[in-house]
Structure formats: structure tokens, C-alpha cells
Amino acid sequence: MKVSQVFFRSTLWLSLGVWVGSWGFFAFVVSRLAFRVLPGNVAGDVAGQLLQTLHYGGATLALVAAASAVALGRRGWVVALPLLLAAICVASELLLSPEVAALRPSAMGAEATEAKSLRFKYLHALSLGTFLLVHVVSIGLIVLHARIDARSMAEKSPG
């Protein structure tokens, strides 16, 4: 195996691992802990700031994964999916997150109306659904790349 292949395979797996791991850690540990121990408005602010990092970081890592896959000679879904997920991450951060953040104080505070609360719940559910979609599909990318690597190793092994 060439040094460049080792480099790009390592870069691919590192980018996928950091991406999936950080999103999973946020979903299953950080957000649950924040909303358990912090007041709701503070927990929401913390989650919003962390989501910004996750969205931009996820987009960057997705682009690294796609570029590494191309460098390894891979094509199709293993390249297209991370590009699509990068676009979804950026769109979520630029279009959805600001509206959720702007509505949260007026949907939860003393001046909350039913319309504002319903709009906030809808946008929050959309944001959560987008987050979960990106996370599940990024896990699927790990499976796809693992299958490609396993097939490649099986073809190279003697016997």
C-alpha cells in the first residue's frame, strides 16, 4: 500500500470518527446534561453555540471525508453523501438555527403566545430532525466505507 493511500485512508477514518463521535457525544451526553443542570434559557444558549461548532465542523469534516474518498479512487454515494450532508449542515446553521434562537425567548417567556410557541416547536423539531438525519447518514457512511475497505482487503489477501 502506498504512503498516499495510507494517508488518505487515515484522514478518511479520522474525519468520519471525529464527525460521528462529536455529534453522538453532543446528542447523548452534552445536551442532556446541559438541560438537566442548567436553567432552560442558559442550556438553550449553550446548545445553540455548540450546534454552531458542530454544524461548521461537520461540514468541514464531511468535505475532508469526500476529498479523501476521491483521493482513494472512490466514487458514487461515498462522495456524494458527505457533500450533501455538508450542505445540510451549513443550511441548518445559516437558515434554521438563527430562527430557532430568535423565537426561543418569545416562545418561552412571559410574552409567549400560542402561535410563537407552536412555531418554535415546529422549528425545533425540524432542527432536531435535521441533526438526526445528518448523524444517521454519517454513521451509514462509516458502514459504506468499511464495506469498501473489507472488500478491498479480501481481494488483496492470498487464497
- The 10s digit of each residue's pLDDT in 46-93 is 999 999 999 999 999 999 999 999 999 999 999 999 999 999 999 999
- The 10s digit of each residue's pLDDT in 42-54 is 998 999 999 999 9
Q: Calculate the average pLDDT of the chain.
A: 94
Predicted TM-score (pTM) of this structure = 0.92
Pure H helices in 72-113: 77-91, 97-108
* DSSP of 29-81: IIHHHHHHHS-HHHHHHHHHHHHHHHHHHHHHHHHHHHHHHHHTT--THHHHH
Half-sphere exposure of 80 (CA within 13 A, CB side): 3
